[in-house]
Structure 1
């Protein structure tokens, strides 16, 4: 009796106690013969084909069943069991050739896949409205809030240079935090851009220093009136440095703005010294230059400084060094005590960081002259807000000045919106 060849590709499986149905004596004699010459078995077994999972047919005409897991025993396992099994085991039905529980040789390891990507933390929204109205509104809110808050803080912390250094410190920390959160990509500067940034930071720090020194030598109303002439310096330097021509309507709209600020701050004796007058004029000139250069840095083709957050993160560390040096030279750092750095000062630094962000963003969208006029309107609104906070008294001329300034600012806004000409910087200035 001949046996059909069975093929298997799997490794040798552990043998289970199994018997073969029937008591054919020819099989027993054939099994003992094959065990005496095991090389014949290996010649008839093809290890490249696996038949352990093929379904067994009980009859010739019976269709195969996919769910049948009992596979016929191989020739080698039959011969081994016939030679070593008892008669009782031979009469019992065979056990399944494949154990329901996979043996160590039947375990299928899962395929190795690339590790699952780490879930990224949600980032802060980086897209803000691009409307000039939105940025001007935010500028007014932060500027008015910081102006009133600064007056309250300086009564308890009379160190303007140190306070400016704290503002720059919060700008540095805030810029680093936003860069880490992915709100902007810190730019890489070349040599020319680094020189321009250092020069601009010096202008920024000197403007603060001159403004604070001049405020000590003149009265506040005189200081506000002279600073109200900043739009005139802005138009002059825009024509001189950038070759920009302002329309006649823009120039006429500045007249009620300057006159209104003068009337709104009238009511105190305009006391000043010649040195104070020169320093106040110098501070006004520096303020106009700072506004122009800020707009120039953020205008095309300067993609490095186009993002206000990126510009603030680059400028704040340099401004911190300059303001700290000024505070040391003026002797403020020797008088500042750790107890003076209260919670009010820290909140003031956070407000200053927010004002810097919206100030740079509004300057890029509105323009240098528009920011100058907005600053003058802010001064008048600060007077109105200070009435309720500090108990100031508004006379008739003060009310007229407030009305003129607000009207001039609205007039300029209408002229600016209807005009297609804006301040364009000379590209070769910083490249």
Structure 2
């Protein structure tokens, strides 16, 4: 007997529709990661973070356009401090090319689509099931992407020239730690998406940017000015406002 949840899982036979859905989702998942990395190299980091902070608004727009779902006025208003806060917290030099801007905008759209698709998918599968079926597909797609973009060829050239000097035990330890953190992050993210919803996950992404700055200050002594601190406070306040609105809506519906 198959147990659903995070403790035990057993593979099951998938229908053709379920298989195609998982293949499409794995492609969206891999493409979102690739687009985020490519766009990050094409624009300045502050501009990249500001554009990514609009992901909750894009999520709302997709829900309205595709599913005809609307939100209370307070929910729309709570988006303002979330975006403004991140903009202030990450204030810096802004530069980009037209292609970089378009890549970043596409990445924001893909991120919102992935969050919504995840929410729809975890309604039929547990988070562990999603990872079980999707991870091999996404990994194969990322390897294919690495071949197409020349990354695999570059690594092979460096290995042949003996200039690739990171293959020691610290490299593999870091790789293992990174893999474990990615696994835990995906499980928590999928489960939270299932319980709280896609829009809440997008809002948490904005809070993550503020917390990233805070961790940089604590762990790496990254300098932070009063303006950055103000932006972090505004972002957290916006998230708190959004949370209160969501809780009030849940109480009203129940």
TM-score, normalised via structure 2 length: 0.89
Q: How many residues align?
A: 239
For 1:272 and 1:127, the matched residues in 2 are separated by: 44
> Does residue 317 of the first structure (1) align with residue 136 of the second (2)?
yes
Q: Deviations along 1:8-45, whole A, 9 cap, x unmatched?
A: xxxxxxxxxxxxxxxxxxxxxxxxxxxxxxxxxxxxxx
For 1:367 and 1:350, the matched residues in 2 are separated by: 24
In the other structure, the counterpart of 1:308 is 127
> Out of 86, 93, 102, which is 1:269 matched to?
93
> Out of 173, 194, 197, which is 1:343 matched to?
173
Offset, 1:388:
2.3
Offset, 1:185:
2.5
In the other structure, the counterpart of 1:245 is 70
Q: Deviations along 1:151-203, whole A, 9 cap, x unmatched?
A: xxxxxxxxxxxxxxxxxxxxxxxxxxxxxxx7122232101111111111111
* Shift in alpha-carbon separation, 1:197–1:127, aligned structure 2, 3 A: closer
For 2:33 and 2:57, the matched residues in 1 are separated by: 20
In the other structure, the counterpart of 1:296 is 120
For 2:120 and 2:248, the matched residues in 1 are separated by: 22
Offset, 1:127:
6.5
In the other structure, the counterpart of 2:40 is 215
> Out of 2, 10, 14, which is 1:189 matched to?
14
Q: Deviations along 1:205-248, whole A, 9 cap, x unmatched?
A: 11111111110111111100000000110000001111211111
Offset, 1:389:
2.3
| SS at 1:213 equivalent | helix
**Deviation >4 Å, runs of 4+:** 125-128
- Spell out the pairing of 1:389-400 with structure 2 (5 A cutoff): 389-400=219-230
| SS at 2:71 equivalent | coil
Q: Deviations along 1:233-285, whole A, 9 cap, x unmatched?
A: 0000001111211111111111100000000000x210111110010000000
In the other structure, the counterpart of 2:163 is none
- Spell out the pairing of 1:20-419 with structure 2 (5 A cutoff): 183-266=8-91, 268-299=92-123, 302=124, 305=125, 307-336=126-155, 337=159, 339=167, 341-419=171-249
Unaligned regions of 5+ residues in structure 1, if any?
Answer: 1-124, 129-181, 422-431
Which structure carries more helix by proportion? 2
| SS at 2:174 equivalent | helix
* Shift in alpha-carbon separation, 1:281–1:259, aligned structure 2, 3 A: same
Q: Deviations along 1:28-77, whole A, 9 cap, x unmatched?
A: xxxxxxxxxxxxxxxxxxxxxxxxxxxxxxxxxxxxxxxxxxxxxxxxxx
Answer yes or no: is the 8 Å Cα contact 1:187–1:310 preserved in 2.
no
| SS at 2:224 equivalent | coil
Unaligned regions of 5+ residues in structure 2, if any?
Answer: 160-165
In the other structure, the counterpart of 1:157 is none
| SS at 2:41 equivalent | helix
Higher relative contact order (CA 8 A, sep 6+): 2
| SS at 1:403 equivalent | helix
Answer yes or no: is the 8 Å Cα contact 1:259–1:404 preserved in 2.
yes
| RMSD over equivalenced CA pairs, Å | 2.0
For 2:14 and 2:97, the matched residues in 1 are separated by: 44
Answer yes or no: is the 8 Å Cα contact 1:231–1:254 preserved in 2.
yes
